[in-house]
Structure 1
Amino acid sequence: MQSLFQILMLVLDVVWFFVIAHVIMSWLINFQVLNTRQQLVAQIWYGLNRVLEPLYGPIRRLLPPMGGLDLAPLVVLLAIIALRIVLQNNMMMFY
């Protein structure tokens, strides 16, 4: 059962990294530091969008329109933090 706990924590860490990378890339693209016409940037950007859209989609439908401000990544990060806290507080269940 300890392996299950470690796998769940690893998955949460990977999702955390993907969300942070997506947020940073969106800022760099919006401030025209990165250009999506470059093949590598476009592949990474569209790959991250494909991976994270199943997480962002339901959250975006629940949140009210904010005039161009996307709060879905923030909600996902808060959910990851909450899941990590719940898992760590119930770690003894996995032993």
Structure 2
Amino acid sequence: MTSIFMILMLLLNILWFFIIAHVVMSWLINFQVLNMRQPIVAQIWYGINRLLEPIYGPIRRVLPNMGGLDLAPLAVLIGVAIARIILTNNAALFY
């Protein structure tokens, strides 16, 4: 059961990393530090969007429209942090 706990924590950490990378990359693209015409940047952006859009989509439907501000990544980060806290506090159930 310890391995299940560790795998869940690993998946949450990976999701956390991808969300942070997506947010930072979106800022760099919007401030024109990264150019979407470069193939590697476009591929990474497309891949991260394909990975995270199924998570962001339902949250975007629930959250109110904030104009140009997307709060879905923040909501997912809070959800991941809550899941990590719950798993850590209930780690004794996995042992």
How does the TM-score come out when normalised to structure 1? 0.99
Q: What amino acid maps onto 1:35 in structure 2?
A: N
Once residues 16 and 71 of structure 2 are traced to their aligned partners in structure 1, the CA distance between those partners, rounded to angstroms, is 15
Matches within 5 A, 1:3-42: 3-42=3-42
Question: What percent of counterpart residues are identical?
Answer: 69
SS of 2:36's partner is coil
How does the TM-score come out when normalised to structure 2? 0.99
Show the counterpart of 1:57.
57
Show the counterpart of 1:89.
89
Query: CA-atom RMSD, angstroms?
Result: 0.3
Gaps of 5+ in 2: none
Once residues 20 and 36 of structure 1 are traced to their aligned partners in structure 2, the CA distance between those partners, rounded to angstroms, is 19
- Deviations 1:22-77, CA, capped at 9 Å, x for gaps: 00000000000001110000000000000000100000000000011000000000
